C-alpha cells in the first residue's frame, strides 16, 4: 500500500530541513518491513540485504521478537542499573554460556562496547605496570573500524574518520591484518592489549585467518596482553558461529558486541573472561540505558529464535553454498568482480571499481546492500534468509552485472 504523495514529499523535505547532514542524503524512504523485505513509500518492495547494517538478525517484525517487545513494554521498560531485573541476569547468563566463563557489561551500541574495551585495556595496563598512564599502548589493525567516539576513532586509522577531530586519544599503534610479524614488531613493555575485528566489516569484509588469530593469542600470552576482539558486526551468528572467532578455536580475553544482539533494538555488550572481569569495579564504568528490561527482552527473543530455528547451522550451510555461487561471478564477469570475501551471511563482492553505480543499479532492481572499504559490495542478509532468498539476490546481482558495459 503506497502512502499519499504529500507524505513522501514531506519526509524528504523534513530530512533536508531538519536532520543533520552527517550522512549522505538517503536514496529511499522506507515505511514497512516484513521478513527479508522492506517497502518504500511508493509501495515498491526490496530484498533487504543491508539488514540495518547487520542489525536485523531476525529480519523485520519477526513475530516472536515483536511479541517479546510488546509484552515487556506493558510490564517494565526502564529502571537503571541502580536495581536488578530478571532479564539482564538471564541474558548475561546466556551470553556467558556462548562466550565462556566470565562476566558481561551492557551498553547501547558498538561504539560504546569498544570504548569499554579501551577502558578495560587501560585498567589492565595500570595493573601490569603498577602505575597509571605508563602501559597504555593498544595495537590495532590497519583498515580497521571501531567506531566514531574518540576512543573508537583513535583506534580507526582512516583519514575520513579522524579528519577534523585531532588531537586523538594517544596510545594506538597499527599492524597489518593477517601479518603477524607486523604486530610482533609493535609490542613493547608499554603495550596493554591487541584489539582487532575478527572480520573487518567497514574496511571491506576482510577476515582474520585462523593462523593469524592463533599467533595473536600466543603473542598476548607471552607478553601479558589482553586479546580484545571487536565482534560488533561479525558476531552473534552472522558468520555461522555465535562469535566469529570461535571458528578458529582460540580463546579471547574480552569481546565487544552489538548490532544483531537485540535484533534492531539498541544494545551493545562486553564479555570479559573471568580472569579480567574484576578490572571494572563499582564506579569505573556505567551506562544509564545499558541492559534495560526492554532491551534485554529483545535480545532474549533473538537468542530464543536463533536456537529454536537452528540459525547458526543454517547460516554455516547456506552461507558456504552461497559463497560458492557468488564466486562464479569472478569468472563470468571478470571485468567487474575481483574477489568474494567473508563467510556465512557476511560476504563481500570486491569490485574492480567504485561500487556505487552497482549499488544504485541493484537498488533499482530491488536489492538493498551497503558498500565497504571503498570497492566492496557488502551482503548482510538477515539470519532467517532462505536458500530461495539467497538465490534471488544472486540472480539480481547477475542481472545488474550483465547489464554493465
- Give residue for cell 584489539: 195
In a domain? residue 85: yes
pLDDT at 3 over 70: no
pLDDT at 2 over 80: no
> What does each C-alpha distance from 321 to 101, 234, 263, 276, 326 come to in angstroms?
34, 19, 25, 39, 9
pLDDT at residue 90 in the model: 98
Return the exposure string of 283-293: e unless at least 16 CB atoms fall within 10 Å of the residue's CB, then b. Answer: eebebebbbbb
Neighbours of 335 (CB within 10 A): 11
Return the exposure string of 253-272: e unless at least 16 CB atoms fall within 10 Å of the residue's CB, then b. Answer: bbbbbbbbbbbbbbbbbbbb
In a domain? residue 261: yes
Alpha helices in 203-268 (DSSP H): 210-223
Measure the CA–CA gap between 337 and 59, rounded to whole angstroms. Answer: 28
Helix (H, G, I), strand (E, B) or coil at 147: coil
pLDDT at 318 over 60: yes
**With the C-alpha atoms ordered 313, 316, 318, 321, is the resulting torsion angle positive or negative?**
negative
Measure the CA–CA gap between 301 and 58, rounded to whole angstroms. Answer: 10
Q: If residue 39 lies in a helix (H) or strand (E), which one and from where to where?
A: strand 37-40
Do residues 291 and 324 share a domain? no
Do residues 255 and 323 share a domain? no
pLDDT at residue 124 in the model: 98
Do residues 323 and 244 share a domain? no
Do residues 183 and 288 share a domain? yes
Do residues 151 and 298 share a domain? yes
pLDDT at 7 over 60: no
Contact between residue 48 and residue 382 where contact means Cβ atoms under 8 Å apart: yes
Q: How many domains does the chain have?
A: 2
60 — phi, psi (to 5°)?
-100, 130
Residues 263-276 have a mean pLDDT of 98
**With the C-alpha atoms ordered 274, 130, 114, 177, is the resulting torsion angle positive or negative?**
negative
Catalytic residue among 40, 41, 48, 230: 230
pLDDT at residue 26 in the model: 87
In a domain? residue 342: no
pLDDT at 6 over 70: no
pLDDT at 159 over 80: yes
Do residues 167 and 269 share a domain? yes
Residues 326-351 have a mean pLDDT of 98
Q: Tell me the binding residues for N(2)-acetyl-L-ornithine.
A: 148, 287
Do residues 179 and 323 share a domain? no
Do residues 190 and 238 share a domain? yes
In a domain? residue 166: yes
List, for residues 345-386, the tens digit of each pLDDT value: 999 999 999 999 999 999 999 999 999 998 999 999 999 999
Do residues 169 and 229 share a domain? yes
Instruction: Judge whether 230 counts as a catalytic residue.
Output: yes
Instruction: Judge whether 259 counts as a catalytic residue.
Output: yes
> What does each C-alpha distance from 305 to 57, 264, 298, 309, 345 come to in angstroms?
10, 14, 11, 6, 17
In a domain? residue 381: no
Catalytic residue among 105, 106, 145, 174: 145
In a domain? residue 42: no
Point out the least confidently predicted range of 18-27, 113-122, 308-317: 18-27
Do residues 319 and 292 share a domain? no
Do residues 267 and 325 share a domain? no
Structure pTM? 0.95
Check which CATH number belongs to the domain holding 148 and give it: 3.40.640.10
List, for residues 166-206, the tens digit of each pLDDT value: 999 999 999 999 999 999 999 999 999 999 999 999 999 99
pLDDT at 310 over 60: yes
In a domain? residue 380: no
List, for residues 196-214, the tens digit of each pLDDT value: 999 999 999 999 999 999 9
Do residues 117 and 207 share a domain? yes
Residues 213-222 have a mean pLDDT of 98
Catalytic residue among 174, 195, 253, 259: 259
In a domain? residue 80: yes
pLDDT at residue 25 in the model: 87
Contact between residue 345 and residue 239 where contact means Cβ atoms under 8 Å apart: yes
By residue range, what is the domain housing residue 265? 65-309
Confidence band for 294, pLDDT divided at 50, 70 and 90: very high
pLDDT at 34 over 90: yes
Residues 207-222 have a mean pLDDT of 98
Q: Tell me the binding residues for pyridoxal 5'-phosphate.
A: 110-111, 145, 230-233, 288
Q: Tell me the binding residues.
A: 110-111, 145, 148, 230-233, 287-288
* Domain end residue (candidates: 294, 309, 324): 309
Instruction: Judge whether 328 counts as a catalytic residue.
Output: no
Residues 5-9 have a mean pLDDT of 51
Beta-carbon contacts of 61 under 8 Å, excluding residues fewer than 6 positions away, are 33, 34, 35
Confidence band for 84, pLDDT divided at 50, 70 and 90: very high
Amino acid at each position: 500500500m503506497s502512502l499519499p504523495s504529500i507524505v513522501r514529499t514531506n519526509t524528504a523535505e523534513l530530512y533536508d530541513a531538519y536532520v543533520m547532514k552527517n550522512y549522505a542524503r538517503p536514496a529511499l524512504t522506507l515505511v514497512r518491513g516484513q521478513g527479508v523485505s522492506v517497502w518504500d513509500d511508493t509501495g515498491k518492495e526490496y530484498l533487504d540485504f543491508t539488514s540495518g547494517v547487520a542489525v536485523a538478525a531476525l529480519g523485520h517484525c519477526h513475530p516472536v521478537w515483536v511479541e517479546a517487545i510488546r509484552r515487556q513494554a506493558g510490564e517494565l521498560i526502564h529502571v537503571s542499573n541502580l536495581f536488578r531485573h530478571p532479564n539482564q541476569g538471564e541474558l548475561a547468563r546466556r551470553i556467558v554460556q556462548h562466550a565462556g566463563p566470565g562476566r558481561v557489561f551492557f551498553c547501547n551500541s558498538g561504539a560504546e562496547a569498544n570504548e569499554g574495551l579501551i577502558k578495560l585495556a587501560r585498567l589492565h595496563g595500570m595493573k601490569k605496570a603498577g602505575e597509571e598512564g605508563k602501559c597504555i599502548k593498544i595495537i590495532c589493525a590497519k583498515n580497521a573500524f571501531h567506531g566514531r567516539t574518540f576512543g573508537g576513532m583513535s583506534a580507526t586509522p582512516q583519514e575520513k574518520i579522524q579528519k577534523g577531530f585531532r588531537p586523538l586519544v594517544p596510545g594506538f599503534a597499527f599492524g597489518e591484518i593477517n601479518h603477524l610479524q607486523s604486530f610482533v614488531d609493535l609490542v613493547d613493555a608499554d603495550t596493554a592489549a591487541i584489539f582487532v575485528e575478527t572480520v573487518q566489516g567497514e574496511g571491506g569484509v576482510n577476515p582474520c585467518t585462523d593462523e593469524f588469530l592463533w599467533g595473536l593469542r600466543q603473542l598476548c600470552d607471552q607478553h601479558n596482553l589482553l586479546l580484545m576482539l571487536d565482534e560488533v558486526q561479525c558476531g552473534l551468528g552472522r558468520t555461522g558461529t555465535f562469535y566469529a572467532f570461535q571458528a578458529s578455536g582460540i580463546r579471547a580475553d574480552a569481546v565487544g558486541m552489538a548490532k544483531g544482539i537485540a535484533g534492531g533494538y539498541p544494545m551493545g555488550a562486553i564479555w570479559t573472561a573471568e580472569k579480567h572481569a574484576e578490572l571494572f569495579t563499582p564506579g569505573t564504568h556505567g551506562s544509564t540505558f545499558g541492559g534495560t528490561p526492554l532491551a534485554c527482552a529483545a535480545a532474549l527473543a533473538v537468542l530464543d529464535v536463533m536456537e529454536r530455528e537452528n540459525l547458526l547451522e543454517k547460516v554455516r550451510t547456506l552461507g558456504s553454498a552461497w559463497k560458492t555461487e557468488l564466486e562464479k561471478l569472478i569468472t563470468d564477469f571478470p571485468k567487474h568482480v575481483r574477489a568474494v570475501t567473508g563467510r556465512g551471511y557476511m560476504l563481500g563482492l570486491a569490485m574492480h571499481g567504485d561500487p556505487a553505480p552497482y549499488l544504485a543499479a541493484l537498488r533499482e532492481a530491488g536489492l538493498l546492500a551497503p558498500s565497504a572499504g571503498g570497492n566492496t559490495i557488502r551482503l548482510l542478509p538477515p539470519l532467517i534468509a532462505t536458500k530461495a532468498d539467497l538465490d534471488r539476490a544472486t540472480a539480481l546481482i547477475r542481472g545488474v552485472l550483465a547489464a554493465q558495459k
